[in-house]
């Protein structure tokens, strides 16, 4: 077990640090957004606590209270922009893995990763063209 912590390869530690940093950079903003907006409940579309003790019915569980306002469209991250960011991140990671593989004599890994990066670039172009036609 102690041999795991006595890693001699600095590149492996650097890869671990970069992975943890990317994980934190991508996950932490979404966690803060969820904390700020409140927990999202999955399941029946009834608000918490709406039951026999509250007047109303399923279509209007709180009569006399105005319905909540939806946030403005620019206040939330759109699915399109999230998709573009995810594709770019995948291109960068695939390119880096491919270059690392080629420089470390892992030819198959390098070629496959660079091929995946090229396919992702083609897909990003296709996705951007399709989105412009929709808008």
pLDDT band per the 50, 70, 90 thresholds, residue 1: very low
67, 66, 63, 45: which is closest to 54 by C-alpha? 63
Full residue range of the structural domain in which residue 112 is found? 78-135
Question: Which pLDDT value is given to residue 58?
Answer: 62
25, 64, 61, 68: which is closest to 46 by C-alpha? 61
CB–CB of 101/109 below 8 Å?
yes
- CA gap 94, 86 in Å, rounded: 12
Give the number of domains in the chain. Answer: 2
Same domain, 84 and 48: no
Question: Which pLDDT value is given to residue 53?
Answer: 55
On whether residue 120 sits in a domain, the answer given is yes
On whether residue 42 sits in a domain, the answer given is yes
CB–CB of 124/91 below 8 Å?
yes
In eight-state DSSP terms, residue 6 is: S
- CA gap 79, 22 in Å, rounded: 20
pLDDT digits over 102-127, tens only? Answer: 999 889 989 999 999 999 999 998 88
Question: Which pLDDT value is given to residue 70?
Answer: 72
pTM higher than 0.85: no
Same domain, 85 and 130: yes
């Amino acid at each position: 077990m102690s041999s795991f912590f006595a890693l001699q390869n600095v590149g492996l530690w650097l890869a671990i640090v970069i992975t943890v940093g990317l994980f934190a950079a991508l996950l932490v903003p979404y966690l803060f957004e969820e904390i700020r907006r409140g927990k999202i409940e999955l399941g029946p579309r009834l608000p918490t606590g709406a039951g026999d003790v509250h007047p109303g019915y399923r279509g209007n569980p709180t009569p006399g209270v105005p319905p909540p306002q939806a946030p403005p469209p620019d206040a939330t991250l759109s699915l399109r922009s999230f998709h573009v960011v995810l594709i770019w991140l995948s291109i960068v990671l695939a390119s880096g893995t491919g270059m690392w593989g080629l420089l470390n004599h892992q030819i198959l890994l390098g070629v496959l990763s660079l091929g995946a990066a090229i396919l992702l670039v083609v897909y990003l172009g296709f996705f951007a063209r399709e989105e412009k036609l929709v808008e």
